[in-house]
Every structure is written in structure tokens, then in C-alpha cells.
Amino acid sequence: MEKFINSLPIDLEHIISSLIVILVAILFYQILRYPAKRILGLQKNKKSNTYMSMISSFVRTAYITIVILILLQINGVDVSSLIAGVGIASVVIGLAVQDTLKDIIRGISIVSDDYYKVGETVTIGDVTGKVLSVGIRSTKLQDLGTGNVITLANRNIERSEVAGTKFGIDIPLPYELKLEKAEAIMNEIAEKAVEHEDIQELKYVGVSELAASSINYKLFGSSVPRRRIQAKRAVLHVALEVLEKHKVDVPYPQMDVHQK
């Protein structure tokens, strides 16, 4: 095989050698993936899965880098000189990859400081979703509202909120409605809404605010984190049904104009 490759024109020799390296690298990578998946599948807690996700991302990046260096060496690039010259070009490279370095540092901080774990439901900025993976450069979320998979650069994640099982929701009722009747309506909403499959618990806890055009009454409940949006929608749907049944209008901002 070596004699055959050496007898070929120089360019074709490089191409064939490069293809062999790529094929071997792909084969080796596929062989390694199977035991890695088995190990990842054995992890039962979210923190272990998060660490495995980041390690997998790091190993994949390092593996691709090594293969690229081998291909460069095969095609006549002096890799040793290239690596030695990194010190000279470090300032330029540092400026070019500073965002990548920020991503990596933030990614390590996210895992070590337990910002969130794979499988948890979190709110980052305006997005609430399930954490699909935590990599060395980015975090992937599945938006609970749309189902879309969103990739966020780790450097942009300054604050995250892990969703719990508890949630609160305000129901506005008109000032004209007597307190006794309003609380009876709220209890009825809680009793009917808790029958929904996404709601584990729901109860009326009292008045939360005397707003400009309404009195807001608070319901407090619990749900599976990834189903909180659906749970809140179910509560609002039941609330409208109960208010319609009692012929109570949902208040909205109004302005009174007085003329002399």
C-alpha cells in the first residue's frame, strides 16, 4: 500500500493519505461513541449528565483539532513550526477568539457553580425551556412555549432561574364585586382547575393587590416544571368559564371624563 501511494503524483498522494486519515478518524470516533453513550446512559442524576455533556463537547472539539493538525502535516504544513509560532501571534489570536474563551470560562462556571443541569427547566432572559445540553461554548434549551431548540452562547448567560414546581397566578375581579362572593368564585376556580392533568395542587390564598381598575386575587399551586405554562393556561381558561357562569366581567383599564 505504501509503495502504491509513493508511486502516485504528489498531489494525489496527499489526497489519498488525507482521505485515509479522515476515514480512520471517523471509524475510531464511531467506535468510541458506543461506550461513551453507554456510560452516559448509566448516569441517573442531572449533575452527572451535565458533566458528561460538557466533557463530551470538550473531547469532540479536541479530537477534531488533532485530526486537522494531522491533515495539515500530511499536506506539507509544518505543524511544529505552526505551534511554535503561536506565541508570536498570541495577541492576534487572543483578540480573534476572546468570545470563544469567554464561552468556555462561563461554561465551566455554569457547571461548577450549579447554575442549572441537563433536564432542568430554566428561565434565561426571555426564554423558558428544558436544558438539552451544556457544552463548552453554548447551552441548548427547548422552548416550552414553542418547542423550538434555542442555542445560547455561554458568555451571554449572566443570570438563570431554575423553575420549581410552585407557581402563582393573579385573577383580577371588579371592585364592585363583594368580597364574600369574590372569594367564593376564587375557591370555585381552584376546585375546578385542580382537576386538570397538569395541575398537582391549587388553592386560593387571598388578595394580592388593589390595582387601578381591579382587585387582584391570588391563586397558588404546583405543577411539573416543564408543564407550568400549560398549567397557568388551564387556570386562566377555568377562571374565564367560572366568571362567565357568574356573569362577572373581567375588569380592564377605564377612564372617566367629566365635563363642566
* pLDDT tens for each residue of 154-173: 887 877 777 777 888 999 99
For residue 172, give the 3-state DSSP assignment: strand
Residue 50 banded pLDDT, cuts 50, 70, 90? low
> Rounded CA gap, 257 and 254, in Å?
10
Cβ pair 133, 168 in contact under 8 A: no
Helix, coil or strand: residue 181: helix
Alpha-carbon dihedral angle through residues 244, 247, 253, 257, given to the nearest 10 degrees: 150
Alpha helices, DSSP H, located in 116-227: 179-193
3-state helix, strand, coil in the chain (%, to 5): 50, 20, 30
Neighbours of 135 (CB within 10 A): 19
Cβ-based burial of 229 (10 A; exposed 0-12, middle 13-18, buried ≥19):
middle
Cα–Cα distances (Å) from 36 to 24, 42, 53, 56, in that order, read 18, 10, 11, 8
Contacts of 172 (CB under 8 A, 6+ apart): 211, 213, 214, 215, 216, 217, 250, 251
Q: Identify the pLDDT of residue 106.
A: 79
- Mean pLDDT for 55-63 is 72
* Domains of the chain, earliest start first: 1-163 (no CATH), 166-245 (3.30.70.100)
Confidence (pTM) = 0.49
Angle at 254 between CA 253 and CA 258, to 5 degrees: 155
Question: Is the model's pLDDT at 85 over the cut of 60?
Answer: no
How do residues 9-30 score in pLDDT, each as one tens digit? 556 667 777 788 788 878 877 7
How close are the terminal C-alpha atoms of the chain, in Å?
104
Return the C-alpha cell found at 23. Answer: 476515514
